[in-house]
Amino acid sequence: MRQLALAGDGLAAQRYARQLISGRVAASPSDIAYFSAIAVGTGRVWTLGPMIEAMHKLDPAQEPRARVRKYIKVLYPYAWAGNALALDALVAFNGEGRLFGPLSDATRDRILSEAQTQGDGRIELGLAMAILESERSKTTPDSSALDQARSYLATAEASGHLAVRTTAQNLLRLMENG
């Protein structure tokens, strides 16, 4: 079944991914993510959640570039089609030292455009947190990056989602006092 999946057979990939996820076959997070990506890429969306969960366990420096390209090829179209899980994954995996690498301006603009459609502030909060995480390790944080984070947090602060709004408010207070 693995060989059929490697050849691009989506049904075989789906069945093999199920075996990997269930533990019936010994698997690394990389194998779970990759074979799930093959399945998701052929329309078997139920494996998107396990794929992303496995991707969170990957070491960006160790994951083969061909597999990373597959994850990108699968996630981006789902995110641009309005899949919130895929969009959240793009935010999580794009950035310095992350699986997909630095976030391009075009990708950031597209993510923000999709986030406006969803309108709950989660994406802006995630982008702000990524900036803050990156800047906290620097001796001299980039003031324009911090301004961008404040802008994202202001959008998130206007959210109707209580957890998003409260987190944004608290982060803005910390930035003012820190």
| Angle, in degrees to the nearest 10, between helices 122-136 and 105-118 | 140
Q: DSSP for 80-123?
A: HTT-HHHHHHHHHHBSTTSTTBSPPHHHHHHHHHHHHHH-SSHH
Question: In this predicted structure, what is the pLDDT of residue 15?
Answer: 94
Question: In this predicted structure, what is the pLDDT of residue 120?
Answer: 84
User: Residue 160: how many CB atoms within 10 A of its CB?
Assistant: 9
> CA–CA separation, 176 vs 178, rounded Å?
6
Question: In this predicted structure, what is the pLDDT of residue 178?
Answer: 66
> CA–CA separation, 123 vs 155, rounded Å?
10
Opening angle at CA 90, ends 103 and 62, nearest 5: 80
- Tell me the per-residue pLDDT of 128-167, one tens digit each, with 9 for 90 and over: 998 898 888 888 888 999 999 999 999 999 988 899 999 9
Question: In this predicted structure, what is the pLDDT of residue 103?
Answer: 85
> CA–CA separation, 122 vs 5, rounded Å?
35
> CA–CA separation, 168 vs 68, rounded Å?
31
> CA–CA separation, 80 vs 49, rounded Å?
17
pTM of the shown model: 0.78
- Tell me the per-residue pLDDT of 14-72, one tens digit each, with 9 for 90 and over: 999 999 999 888 899 999 999 999 999 999 999 999 999 999 999 999 999 999 999 99
> CA–CA separation, 146 vs 100, rounded Å?
22
> CA–CA separation, 9 vs 58, rounded Å?
24
| Angle, in degrees to the nearest 10, between helices 10-22 and 29-41 | 150
Question: In this predicted structure, what is the pLDDT of residue 138?
Answer: 85
> CA–CA separation, 165 vs 162, rounded Å?
5
Question: In this predicted structure, what is the pLDDT of residue 60?
Answer: 96
Identify the DSSP state of 140.
S
Say how many Å lie between the first and final Cα of the chain, rounded.
55
- Tell me the per-residue pLDDT of 65-112, one tens digit each, with 9 for 90 and over: 999 999 999 999 999 998 889 999 998 999 888 999 998 889 988 988
